[in-house]
Structure 1
Amino acid sequence: MQHTTVMTGASRGIGRIAAEHILHQSPDTHLVVVARDSADTQFGGNVSYVVADLNSLKSVRSAAAEIRDRLDRGDLPPLRHFVGNAGIQHTNDLTESPEGIESTFMVNVLANHVFVRTLEDRFAGSGRIVVTVSDTHFGDLKHNMGMVPSPAWDSPGVLARTRAFPKPETAAAGRTAYSTSKLAAIYLLHEYARRLPAGVDVISYNPGFVPGTGLARNAGPLDRFLMRRVLPLLAFTPFGTHRDDAGRYLAEVVLGSTQAPTGSYVDRDEATRSSAESYNPQREQELWDAAERLIALDLAE
């Protein structure tokens, strides 16, 4: 039976690889690619495009509403999957959306929340929501090799604004915003697992350290050189994951080949525990409430 998979972050890197695997392994899939420019991402097969800037609340709300309306009109087959693979990391904690939301939080947390809340009742029977997170949320040497600072949790209202972390003009602050946003994403996924209708599974997917993707595109010249030329060697060690493998693992999580109950954290190809800090019902509830307020912002203000 034909069905729809909506995916962000399919333009490059592991998302592109995962999308190609999904289309190949599931020929009944109609893939809706959400991208800034559809010209950047041309696939063969049954694919359509919705243009969105994930750093704009207005643009994300418009894209999600367009997909919902196309489902309601029957222009798209029934919805089965949402894949929130897009992510961003900045070299500061000063970059913000047009609505004044800190950019890392907007793209890595709120954009997914808008799509989930807009489409959650459009899933036809069973479905699966998969959001790409990061093992940087552990905040220890084993998981981040000292390259990314630990998450620094604060109230969601603070995290959603710039200057949430010390020395916000520095790369360290930008990377702290990144690891904290990935912890926030896991909190929301736990809350979705409690709130969404039975039959819609919610999974956090960690690809591990994947050098050679576009995540560092906002970094300085030295960091970009290291990511392109030096760190890819780590993909062939236990510390890293080759992007071909990471993309295939993501596709397997989406299609259900990797067994994982709702609320699970999948590390590459295996369901396991996320960090101890990531299980906190109070923070999860507070973040849900804050995300609900933020995505309902009156954009006319």
Structure 2
Amino acid sequence: MAKTGSGERKAYIITGPTSGIGYRTALELAKHGTVVLVGRNQGKLDDVQKTVERAGRHAVAVVCDVSDLASVRRAAAEIIALGLPLAGLVNNAGLLEMRATKNAQGWDTAFATNHLGPFVLTEALMPHLPDGANVVFLCSAVEDPERKPAVVAGFRGGRYISAEASARGEWKPGGSTQPGADAYATSKQCNLATVMAFARETPRLRFNAVEPGFSPATGLSRDANVFLRLLGKYVLGLLAPFIKYWSTPARAAKVVTNALLNESGETGVYYDERGQSMLGSTQVHDPKFQDRVVAETRALLSTVLT
């Protein structure tokens, strides 16, 4: 188990730090220690690192495609080899696909990016985090079929059948008619179930979740057309602070940072876009469901040779 000396600069890991909420959170975390930037694109990582360093702070870049489990394992080994006093992890990277694709293992890319990759990274780094360290997963209320704003937006909640079915891109019938919605909601359902199960399994660490609110200025759907991306960034993004359940990357970054630096000892908490505790779906709060998701995820991952 890792220990962090009081005189050392703490290091905080964040995935998906090159845009949106991840970018803003990386800049916030850099105020408190070294930020370990984990992302797919070396050039974009370098740009964020330079931005951090121009402010007189410290950053390290680690290239990793979170959808590729072999890449995740290599990145985890690289992070550990840095020898930094690791103090926390933010699983921020996420993807909403308009059309289903497959990852390097032949599994659904959205499910791999949003659930499997963060799961592998977290389990690889947990032994190297000090007692009391916080691990934060960015989740989404669209996993809850009773969440009215999500239903209005076309989501029908998480559609989990099993980890294997999700990896194949198969979801419980009766879901959304919108492409990618069931994959996204189900992966976020698994994120939240994982947080709750890990919080019970490993009490020496703190596992919490954040619902960052709808931030139209993020790069969540990278295959959306140019018009929709510009609309989200320059029009809807300006309206976000004035609409219930909406947020901005800067505001969400503060909630995520507060959750990661929280020294209260809280674990298994789900924070909303204002930093207040909230409830997820009835299903995801069932310990039996949480344990099933984790057990089936581990069984699925054990089949992958890297």
TM-score w.r.t. structure 2 length? 0.86
Alpha-carbon distance, 1:145 to partner: 5.8
Instruction: Look up the match of 1:54.
Output: 66
C-alpha separation between the residues in 1 aligned to 2:285 and 2:233?
A: 34
Counterpart code for 1:19: A
Match of 1:68 in 2: 80
What root-mean-square deviation, in Å, do the aligned CA atoms of Structure 1 and Structure 2 show?
A: 2.3
Is the Cα contact below 8 Å between 1:265 and 1:273 reproduced in 2?
yes
Deviation per residue, 1:258-300 (Å, 9 max, x gap): x572011011211222222221222222211222123333437
1:213 to 195, 214, 218: 218
1:157-236 superposed matches below 5 A: 157-164=164-171, 172-198=178-204, 200-221=205-226, 223-232=228-237, 233-236=239-242
1:37 to 18, 34, 41: 41
**Paired letter, 1:110:** L
Number of the residue aligned with 1:110: 116
Q: Distance in 1 between matches of 2:295 and 2:252?
A: 32
- Identity over aligned residues, as a percent? 27
Structure 2 unmatched runs, 5+: 1-5
Displacement after TM superposition at 1:234 (Å): 3.6
Alignment of 1:153 with 2:198, yes or no, is: no
More strand by share: 1
1:150 is paired with a residue whose SS is coil
Report the Cα distance in structure 1 between the residues aligned to 2:257 and 2:223, rounded to whole angstroms.
26
Are 1:129 and 2:157 an aligned pair? no
Question: Which residue of 267, 270, 294 corresponds with 2:276?
Answer: 270
Counterpart position of 1:85:
92
Aligned to 2:102: 96
Give the aligned residue type for 1:47: A
Q: d(CA) in 1 for partners of 2:245 and 2:201?
A: 35
- TM-score under structure 1 length normalisation: 0.88
Distance verdict in 2 for CA 1:236–1:4, change over 3 Å: same
**Equivalents in 1 of 2:277, 2:140: separation in Å?**
14
Cα deviation 1:184-208 (Å, max 9, x = unaligned): 100111110111142x100011111
The superposition leaves residues 183-235 of structure 1 with CA deviations (integer Å, 9 ceiling, x where unpaired) of 1100111110111142x100011111111110122124554354234432244
| Matched residue SS, 1:50 | strand
Q: Give the secondary structure class of the aligned counterpart of 2:37.
A: strand
Shift of 1:180: 1.2
Secondary structure in 2 matching 1:215: coil
Distance change (3 Å), C-alpha of 1:145 and 1:230:
farther
TM-aligned CA deviation for residue 243 of structure 1 = 2.1
Q: CA deviation at 1:149?
A: 1.3
Of stretches 272-281 and 204-213 in structure 1, the one that deviates more from structure 2 is: 272-281
Counterpart residue identity of residue 55, structure 1: S
Task: Tell whether the 8 Å contact from 2:160 to 2:172 is kept in structure 1 after alignment.
Answer: no
Aligned residue for 2:89, secondary structure, equals: strand
